Structure 1
Amino acid sequence: MIVLGIDPGLERLGWAVTTEERGTPRAMAFGCFLTQRTAAVEERLALLQEHVRSVIALHRPEVMAVEKLLFQKNVKTAIVVAQARGVVLAAAAEAGLGLVEQTPNAIKLAVTGYGAADKKQVQRMVQVLYRLAEPPRSDDAADALAIAFAGHAAATMLRRTGGGRGTLRA
């Protein structure tokens, strides 16, 4: 199963395409899409959606894993992340992908064994789990790899219990 993990954001959107070979997670491709702060919000959202569509077309994932948006103190930040998340979810629906949505704590727990892990702990475990020579340079790409890892585990469980390609929200 190929999973596309997304760490949504308007300025930086982390993405990772992963799979599993003989029980070992493998990172096929990952990175971070950037948008210009000076561009109009709608242009930035359209650009992000096009980037996500191109990754879907190139790698043909079966499932998209996305971090759930939790309440944030900064309302303005929450709104722009929600907008970016919306275009990502639209791209997933358009491509007919299964969807896994998990909270940041659930993702950290799946990757590190500790739901309150810090960024460095997540980056280190991503490096170990995917057998990367070095941690990803971008925090957003590292987060997307973590999201994909947790999403793969959740999607596998969903399929084994007869859930098919539906949406799993944890």
Structure 2
Amino acid sequence: MRVMGIDPGLTRCGIAVVSGPSAPIPGSIGSAKPGFIAADVLRTHPNKDLEFRLAEINTQLNRWVETYRPEVLVVERVFAQHNVSTVMATAQVAGLAMVAAASRGVPVAQHTPSEVKAAVTGYGDAPKEQIQHMVKRILGLAELPQPADAADALALAICHVWRQGSAVATDTAQQTSAQQRWAAAERAARRTGYRSGRGRLGKKPS
């Protein structure tokens, strides 16, 4: 599975691709080792008009999606800040990334900065330097990923790989529990002369 992470920004947009298990391994959160594929920062000049900067980012985003063909695209969830213009530009770039994915049928996921930091470092308020060091360690890189925007994009992708494994583990545990309850009820029904096929027990969990 290829996961593309996008740390949206108008002047610097972090973008990265990592590999993960083709199918998430139940209970594997933090243990499935992601593999590094690519990372970079898409840049636009702050002196250009907004529409041209967005057009440049859009072209670069689409080029990356076409080149690496991710199976899921992960975007950092945008939160309000004191600088409204910065938030708006960031949200616009995030929207471009989502459209690039949706137009090709690629699923989109979003994670908050604190979710990503907690997944990668174990601490929701970790500084950027710590994220860089942990990303380097997790992916087995020879040096720190630079700049920080590229490391943030890698961290997003890593977070999604691990959270997918956690989600599957939860679903599997719930399904197993339902199957166990049904089996116990069926045994009890047999002892009292009822059969599951008569609708007494309901539908058997799949």
Contact 1:100/1:155 (<8 A) preserved: no
Residue segments in structure 1 that go unaligned for 5+ positions in a row:
163-170
Q: Which amino acid in the other structure matches residue 74 of structure 2?
A: A
For the pair 1:65 / 2:74, whether they are aligned, the reply is yes
Structure-1 residue corresponding to 2:7: 7
The structure with more radius of gyration: 2
Structure with the larger RCO, 1 or 2 (CA within 8 Å, 6+ apart): 1
1:82-97 correspondence runs (5 A): 82-97=91-106
CA apart distance, 1:42: 1.0
1:28 maps to 2:18: no
Deviations 1:83-136 (A, max 9, x none): 111111111111211111011000000000111111111110000001111111
Task: Give % identity.
Answer: 39
State the AA in 2 paired with 1:38. N
Deviates more, 1:21-30 or 1:64-73: 21-30
1:1-170 equivalences in 2 (<5 Å): 1-20=1-20, 23-158=32-167, 161=171
Distance 1:7 1:13 in 2: 6
> Do the aligned residues in 2 keep the contact of 1:63 with 1:155 (CA within 8 Å)?
no
Say what the alpha-carbon RMSD is for the aligned residues.
Answer: 1.7
CA distance in 2, matches of 1:62, 1:46: 24
Structure 2 portions without partners, runs of 5+: 22-30, 173-206
CA offset at residue 51 of structure 1? Answer: 0.9
The CA distance in 2 between the partners of 1:23 and 1:156, in whole Å, is 8
Residues 10, 44 of structure 2: 8 Å contact kept: yes
Q: Aligned to 2:97, what secondary structure does the other structure show?
A: helix
Distance in 2 separating the partners of 1:66 and 1:6: 5
Higher strand share: 1
* TM score, norm. by length of structure 2: 0.74
| Residue aligned with 1:32, SS | strand
